[in-house]
Amino acid sequence: MQKICVIGGSRYFGRLLVKRLQAAGHQVTVINRGSTRPPAGVEHLVVDRNDEAALVAALGTRTFDAVVDQVCYTPVQAATAARAFRGRTRRYVMTSTIEVYDPATAALTAVPTATPVPEETVDPSTWPVSTDLPWHDEAYLEAHYAEGKRQAEAVLTRAAGFEFASVRSAHVLGGGAREFTGRLAHYVERIARGEEVTVHAEALPTVFIHYEELADLLLWAATAADFTGPINACSDGLLDVRDLSAVVAARTGRQPVYRTVARGETASPFSFCRHYAMSNARAKRLGFSFSRTTDWLPGAVAEALTASAVRTA
């Protein structure tokens, strides 16, 4: 049994992670602001992780084998966590994102379109950090989501007092109504109603991961693995927007209606005009086995169809 702290953990794959940690026999503590209670038997610390003094007070004398941070979005939050958990945990795992590789958000080394992007494309040990930017402004944070994650990784990579690993998640799908982003529902509902799906003229592929697989990977990263640095978390197989729509079409019985967007016009989610589909080779070398996206995606579409029918009934 290990003592694991989860910051966030109130919804989607974070909540599932908490349940899986508990089922594996670990002693789990969840930290959030109290809007959602964790499952019975899980210790709950109600505190705003942005309030360093309150966080330190809530932690008291607790120590952990690992911390899994689900809701770290800025270098300021990362710095607060680094100070609060220094000497309290052996290992710190942060949930990051595929968006750190988006070439539209930073000057990155170009990776050939046919080549999945490796972790070293964004090296947190050398990435510049600016904590004096307006990270507390919600509009600024939303517009600089990818950079916030890059800088948060950088701060925690350089922190002393614990091992640090970041899990850069692909686009997460599955779970029907639990999939709170609504991106898969966008396709299910539009294709089922015969409405147009907007796409780029040459839409490039991306990568996905099922929410249960991501929860399993985070559990492994926190309790069984000993790697440090970033790993990419994505199921095997690249899909573009038309591949995704074809799976939805097979379930709905309706053919997609596409409209190509003009330059500068926003397309449907998962239609990309730039390449940043990740490679999962490092995670495989470290011992994690991934599913294939095409194996679980039809089931995820079926769940989204059911959830959509419930919403519109």
pLDDT value of position 179: 83
Token readout for 92 is: 């710190």
What's the CATH code of the domain at 28?
3.40.50.720
Contact 103, 275 (CB under 8 A): yes
For residue 32, give every residue at least 6 positions away whose Cβ sits within 8 Å of its Cβ, in sequence order, or none: 7, 8, 9, 10, 44, 46, 71
Of 11-20, 29-38, 172-181, 272-281, give the lowest mean pLDDT range. Answer: 172-181
Q: How many CB atoms lie within 10 A of CB 220?
A: 17
Q: What is the largest CA-CA distance in the chain?
A: 59
Q: Is the pLDDT of residue 309 over 80?
A: no
Q: Is the pLDDT of residue 313 over 50?
A: no
Mean pLDDT of 54-59: 97
The pair phi, psi for residue 130, each rounded to 5°, is -130, 95
Mean pLDDT of 276-289: 97
Question: Structure pTM?
Answer: 0.95
Start-end of H helices in 38-168: 52-59, 75-85, 138-143, 145-158
The pair phi, psi for residue 97, each rounded to 5°, is -150, 155
Tens digits of residue pLDDT in 82-125: 999 999 999 999 999 999 999 999 999 889 988 999 999 999 99
For residue 201, give every residue at least 6 positions away whose Cβ sits within 8 Å of its Cβ, in sequence order, or none: 260, 261
Q: Is the pLDDT of residue 157 over 60?
A: yes
Distance, CA of 72 to CA of 76 (rounded, Å): 9
Q: Give me the chain's average pLDDT, please.
A: 94
Distance, CA of 205 to CA of 294 (rounded, Å): 14
Tens digits of residue pLDDT in 198-234: 999 999 999 999 999 999 999 999 999 999 999 999 9
Strands 208-210 and 257-260: unpaired
Mean pLDDT of 247-261: 94
pLDDT value of position 201: 92
Tens digits of residue pLDDT in 286-303: 999 999 999 999 999 999
Closest of 199, 165, 223, 210 to residue 18, by C-alpha: 223
The pair phi, psi for residue 107, each rounded to 5°, is -80, 100
Q: Is the pLDDT of residue 304 over 70?
A: yes
Mean pLDDT of 32-50: 92
Q: Is the pLDDT of residue 312 over 80?
A: no
Q: Is the pLDDT of residue 26 over 50?
A: yes
For residue 136, give every residue at least 6 positions away whose Cβ sits within 8 Å of its Cβ, in sequence order, or none: 76
pLDDT band at 36 (very low <50, low <70, confident <90, very high): confident
Token readout for 193 is: 């109603």
Token readout for 121 is: 């494309």
The percentage of residues in the chain with a pLDDT greater than 70, rounded to a whole number, is 98
Distance, CA of 299 to CA of 208 (rounded, Å): 14
User: DSSP 3-state helix, strand, coil percentages of the chain (rounded to 5)?
Assistant: 40, 20, 40
Distance, CA of 162 to CA of 85 (rounded, Å): 8
pLDDT value of position 310: 42
Give the number of domains in the chain: 1
Q: Is the pLDDT of residue 246 over 80?
A: yes
pLDDT band at 45 (very low <50, low <70, confident <90, very high): very high
Q: Is the pLDDT of residue 180 over 50?
A: yes
Distance, CA of 50 to CA of 198 (rounded, Å): 39
Start-end of H helices in the chain: 12-23, 52-59, 75-85, 138-143, 145-158, 183-192, 211-223, 241-252, 281-285, 293-312
For residue 87, give every residue at least 6 positions away whose Cβ sits within 8 Å of its Cβ, in sequence order, or none: 161
Domain that holds residue 25: 3-312
Tens digits of residue pLDDT in 114-153: 899 999 999 999 999 999 999 999 999 999 999 999 999 9
